[in-house]
Structure 1
Amino acid sequence: MRKRKWLVGMGLSAVLALSACNGQEKASTKDNEKTYELKVAYGNLYGAPLADIARAEGFFEEENLKVDMVGLSGDGLTPLQAEKVDIALTFGSTAPMNFIANGADFQMIGGHMEGGHPLVAKKENVDQYKTLEDYKGKKIAVVHLDTLDVYFKAALQEAGIDIKKDVEFIELDSRASVLEAVKTGKADVGISGTGHLTKTLELGLAPVQWINDIEPDAVCCRVTVRGDISDEQAIAYKKFMKALIKAERVKLESPEKNLEASIDRFKNLSESTIDEIVNEPHLINTADPNKNETLELWEKMKSIGYVKKEAENIDMNAHFNLSFYEQAIDELIEENPDDEYYQKQLERFNQQNF
Structure 2
Amino acid sequence: MFRSLIKLSLALAAALPFASQAADEPTIKFGYAKCAHCTPLSLLPEYAQDVKIEAIQFNTGNDVMTALLSKSIDVAQITYLHYATALDRGFDMVAISGQINGGSQVLVGNSLPIQENDWDSLKAVIADYKAQGKPFRVAASRGNAQDLHMRGAFAKQGIDVNKDVQFVNIPNPSDHVQALRRGEVELITSVDPFATQIRQVEAAKFFTYPYDQAAGKLTNLIVTRSDVVKNNAKGVEGAVKAVIAVNDKMAADKPLFVETIHNITGLDEKIAAGAVENLYPDYKMYRESAVAIGQMMRELNYINSDVSAAIEKNMDYSFLESATGKPKSELGD
Q: TM-score range by the shorter chain?
A: 0.7 to 0.9
- 2: CA distance between counterparts of 1:85 and 1:218? 27
Residue 135 of structure 1 and its aligned partner are, at CA, apart by 3.3
| Conservation of the 8 A alpha-carbon contact between 2:27 and 2:51 | yes
Partner of 1:303: 299
Q: Which residue of 2 aligns with 1:70?
A: 56
Q: Relative to structure 2, which stretch is displaced further, 120-129 or 230-239?
A: 120-129
Q: Superposed, which structure 2 residues align to 1:1-354 within 5 Å?
A: 34-46=24-36, 48-56=38-46, 59-60=47-48, 63-74=49-60, 75-89=63-77, 91-125=78-112, 127-136=114-123, 137=126, 138-196=136-194, 197-212=196-211, 217-261=216-260, 264-266=263-265, 268-276=266-274, 280-309=276-305, 315-330=310-325, 346=326, 350=329, 353-354=332-333
Aligned-pair CA distance for 1:178: 4.0
Q: Residue 149 of structure 1 contacts residue 191 of structure 1 at CA under 8 Å; is this kept in 2? A: yes
The Cα of 1:123 is off from its aligned counterpart by 3.5
| Shift of residue 229, structure 1, vs aligned partner | 3.4
Q: Which runs of 5+ in 1 are unaligned?
A: 1-30, 331-345
Deviation digits for residues 113-170 of structure 1, max 9, x if unmatched?
2111110113354743534344332432222222122122223323334443333323
Distance 1:243 1:45, change over 3 A: closer
The alignment covers a number of residue pairs equal to: 299
Q: Where does the alignment leave 5 or more consecutive residues of structure 2 unmatched?
A: 1-19, 127-135
Q: Is contact 2:215-2:293 (8 Å) kept? A: no
Give 1:350 deviation, angstroms.
2.5
Aligned amino acid, residue 204 of structure 2: L
Residue 260 of structure 1: how far off its partner (Å) = 4.6
Deviations 1:88-129, CA, capped at 9 Å, x for gaps: 12x322123212211210011111221111101133547435
SS in 2 for 1:69: strand
Give the SS at the match of 1:84.
coil
Query: Is the 8 Å Cα contact of residues 200 and 271 (structure 2) preserved in structure 1?
Result: no
8 A Cα contact 2:211 2:217, kept in partner: yes
SS in 1 for 2:302: coil
* Mean Cα deviation higher: 78-87 or 166-175: 166-175
Percentage of pairs with the same residue = 15
> Computing the radius of gyration over CA atoms, which structure comes out larger, 1 or 2?
2
Task: Give the partner amino acid of 2:122.
Answer: Y
The alpha carbon displacement at 1:47 in A equals: 7.0
Q: State how far apart, in whole Å, the 1-side matches of 2:168 and 2:230 are.
A: 46
Over aligned residues, Cα RMSD in angstroms? 3.0
Q: Do the aligned residues in 2 keep the contact of 1:39 with 1:67 (CA within 8 Å)?
A: yes
Letter in 2 for 1:68: E
- Matched to 1:255, the amino acid is K
CA distance in 1, matches of 2:181, 2:256: 35
Q: Aligned partners of 1:352 and 1:158: how far apart in 2?
A: 28
TM-score, structure 1 normalization: 0.73
